[in-house]
Chain A
Amino acid sequence: MPTRILHKESLIPGKTSKQQLDAPQIARKAQPGHYVKLRISATGERIPQTIADTDPEKGTITIVYLALGKSTSMLETLGAGDVIHDVCGPLGHATHIEKRGTVVCVGGGTGIAAMHHIAKGHALAGNHVVGIIGARSKDLLLFEQELRVFVDELLISTDDGSYGHKGLVTELLHDRLEKDKNVFEVVAVGPVPMMAAVAETTRPFGVKTTVSLNPIMVDGIGMCGACRVTVDGKTKFACVDGPEFDGHAVDFAELRRRLAAFREQEAVSLEQWRVSHGD
């Protein structure tokens, strides 16, 4: 249904924003790990967005996106008071959360926002939450303050060393797993290469590793199979079997290839929109 944007905060100017949407029905049901499908306009494509936060009492959900293709670029032109044509959800399986000790939640890019919701769920369940987040540089780092509200520890890395550890999140993760044998689970949300690297980092330690996958989806309600991923040699549908899977069993190379299936059309679509919008 048409859904109003109540609040918008720019996180990286022109690139990434946080939007709070008036979606009481979804907010009441949404759990960490869930996503929604959005359609920005009447001619729009159905795109998945992981829910970054909810406020069931106020009836709001929060999304954070990177303006990359036409749909997200159009979304970035909208602000508080504007309406998103369609918002549908919550979809996917919720994250499995139980109180077990120390969990490390790793996030990269806009995946930090999606990871935030999962980390918050673990914190509310009473787990000791270690957040590890990274970006190319300090000004591209998302959701640090939001995470600090509830995480027990927050480790930060930047590629250029402008903030925190100079290097990759996987280096921080590796150090942590060397020193701390009590970590029962690692959660990773972010770009595919990052999630793949996290899975390779944790594999020698034998720590359960959960990744939240972002394949192309069309309906998002278990009808089309666009989102199929290979997990442990078997085909799974991320929309209804996931979106979270065992990171040690996911075929990340296949996921990367499938994510690029419509790259040419995506470029055409974005270019056509840019021309018609004069930038």
Chain B
Amino acid sequence: METKNSKIPRVDMPCQPAAVRRGNFDEVALGYTPAMAIQEASRCLQCKKPLCVTGCPVEVPIRDFIGHITQNDLEGAYRVIKTTNSLPAVCGRVCPQEHQCEGKCILGKKGQPVAIGRLERFVADTHIAATACEQVTGTTACAVPLKDRKVACIGSGPSSLTCAGVCAAAGLKVDVYEALHEPGGVLIYGIPAFRLPKGVVSTEINGLRGAGVTFHLNSVGGRTVAVADLMQEYAAVFIGVGAGLPIFLGIPGENLVGVFSANEYLTRVNLGRAYDFPQQDTPAYPGRHVTVFGAGNVAMDAARTALRMGAESVHVVYRRTRAEMPARREEVEHAEEEGVQFAMLSAPVRFNGNEEAKLCSVTLQKMELGEPDNSGRRRPIPVPDAVYDMPTDLAIVALGTRSNPILLEATPNLRLNARGYIEVNEETGETSIPNVFAGGDIVTGAATVILAMGAGRRAGREIVKRVTN
């Protein structure tokens, strides 16, 4: 059985053709049909001791939901997923499955692992929740609201949405305070619509609204609403304020006009909908020859966004090689199909401006790989005298973020770790302030949607336990 299934190739995901999709912001991956899903699900060995679940930060009972798909029982599959994952339509699209569930799948040892992410997405997209309660919890028997017990969540990204969902499902009234004018955090301002359509995010948020979660927009944690104020009003507070200041390269010319952080470029296009300028007021900087620095998912998003915004060429510049790129494999492949080029083993030395101090080129140092460093990856070292200029009028720096200081400065009794992020109890997510919890990027530094959700779920369960007892 095992050998046989591992020889069956996994079912490909239909996609928009690369030549078409590089001209639009519609979703690239189109999703399985029911027949495709059942065919792929039937590759699953239904292991007695499934390893896939051990790779999932929120422990979705993967084998069981796939079993329901093979029986064509999508409602059952949906309920199983929802027992632990409140945002499956999101996770099915953006999780790095190859390093998580699919990376553990036994079929992957000899062939291709089951396409767990695609199946999760199929279930979430196909079975439409009948009620808000079902959407948030997967069950039809939600708890009776305990009206006087309220929880506040600061931020409305993956960690806060998950925490809010867990609390709402237990009957707690939840108020979410979001600094921007639209809820969703990184799912809205960061991840482009061609990878995660905005409708998927708003469906999840509307589900939470239906389950008694109220969203307060333009409310900055630490500014408009202080943690101390919220503690007066709420039984528990969850801090999920997400990413902070972008990290730049620290090389000369970085403040020339034409050099942007990926956060800025993506926020303008995604949150500001700059692809629809001037119908939308927020513009993006036009670049004909774009360079992107970094090799994670954000770099891929920025590169593919720049293509869609009309760039003639887009180069991802990375000081190591393809093998070390931290981005999801599928994103790298999609980017390449669309025409993104990769300038590997190249490190930026300085940005050069024209007479108007606008970016016109970047000076790059050729690298080669040396001995492995602390991360286990081979360390890039400069090749002597191998320096060259690459013309570019728009450079996008995607090197990650530092912690956001706004809430932390306003909450001096919140204990931080050496890296400047919030210190929490690993088991509960509780901070140094009793009944104040935290999770997501403000605890771990820049990480994935699913890790943030895992943290939100852990804190949410602890809050429910304390508040309902």
B-binding residues in A (CB < 8 A): 1, 25-26, 29, 37, 39, 41, 43-46, 70-71, 85-91, 218-219, 221-226, 228-230, 235, 237, 240, 254, 257-258, 260-262, 265-266, 268-269, 272
Flag whether B179 is at the interface (Cβ < 8 A). Answer: yes
Residues of A contacting B189 in the complex (Cβ-Cβ under 8 angstroms):
219, 223
B245 A262 Cβ-Cβ under 8 A = no
How far is A237 from B401 in the complex, measured between Cα atoms in Å? 13
Q: Closest B-chain residue to A228, C-beta based?
A: B255
Q: How large is the interface on B (under 10, 10 to 19, 20 to 34, 35 or more residues)?
A: 35 or more
Q: Closest B-chain residue to A37, C-beta based?
A: B218
Flag whether B55 is at the interface (Cβ < 8 A). Answer: no
How far is A46 from B267 in the complex, measured between Cα atoms in Å? 11
Flag whether B277 is at the interface (Cβ < 8 A). Answer: yes
How far is A237 from B402 in the complex, measured between Cα atoms in Å? 12
Which of A219, A240, A269 is packed against the most chain B CB atoms within 10 Å? A219
Residues of B contacting A223 in the complex (Cβ-Cβ under 8 angstroms):
189, 243-246, 263, 267, 401, 404
Residues of A contacting B128 in the complex (Cβ-Cβ under 8 angstroms):
none
B273 smallest CB distance to A (angstroms): 8
Residues of A contacting B246 in the complex (Cβ-Cβ under 8 angstroms):
223-225
How far is A222 from B283 in the complex, measured between Cα atoms in Å? 19
Residues of A contacting B278 in the complex (Cβ-Cβ under 8 angstroms):
265, 268-269, 272
A-B contact pairs, 20 of them (CB 8 A): A1-B219, A25-B224, A44-B281, A88-B180, A89-B220, A218-B282, A221-B180, A221-B220, A224-B261, A224-B264, A225-B248, A225-B264, A226-B260, A237-B245, A240-B245, A254-B357, A261-B258, A265-B277, A269-B281, A272-B278
Knowing A88-B179, A221-B179 are in contact, say whether A226-B264 is a contact too (CB < 8 A): yes
Contact with A along B236-275 (1 / 0, CB 8 A): 0000000111101000001101101101100110011100
Residues of A contacting B401 in the complex (Cβ-Cβ under 8 angstroms):
223
How far is A248 from B357 in the complex, measured between Cα atoms in Å? 22
Residues of A contacting B263 in the complex (Cβ-Cβ under 8 angstroms):
223-225
How far is A26 from B225 in the complex, measured between Cα atoms in Å? 9
* Given A29-B223, A90-B223, A230-B255, 16 additional A-B pairs, CB 8 A: A1-B219, A26-B224, A29-B224, A29-B226, A44-B281, A71-B281, A88-B180, A90-B224, A219-B180, A221-B179, A221-B404, A223-B243, A223-B244, A223-B267, A240-B406, A258-B257
A235 B218 Cβ-Cβ under 8 A = no
B103 smallest CB distance to A (angstroms): 31
Flag whether B181 is at the interface (Cβ < 8 A). Answer: yes
Residues of B contacting A45 in the complex (Cβ-Cβ under 8 angstroms):
272, 281-282
A269 B283 Cβ-Cβ under 8 A = yes
Flag whether B390 is at the interface (Cβ < 8 A). Answer: no
Q: Closest A-chain residue to B280, C-beta based?
A: A43
Residues of B contacting A70 in the complex (Cβ-Cβ under 8 angstroms):
281
How far is A235 from B253 in the complex, measured between Cα atoms in Å? 11
Closest 7 CB pairs of A and B: A265-B283, A224-B264, A88-B218, A45-B281, A225-B261, A86-B181, A261-B257
Residues of A contacting B243 in the complex (Cβ-Cβ under 8 angstroms):
223
B248 A222 Cβ-Cβ under 8 A = no
How far is A37 from B179 in the complex, measured between Cα atoms in Å? 10
Residues of A contacting B223 in the complex (Cβ-Cβ under 8 angstroms):
29, 89-91
Flag whether B14 is at the interface (Cβ < 8 A). Answer: no
User: Which residues of chain B from 125 to 180 have a CB within 8 Å of any chain A CB?
Assistant: 179-180
How far is A91 from B409 in the complex, measured between Cα atoms in Å? 12
Flag whether B25 is at the interface (Cβ < 8 A). Answer: no
B267 in complex: contacting residue of A88, A224, A266, CB < 8 Å:
A224
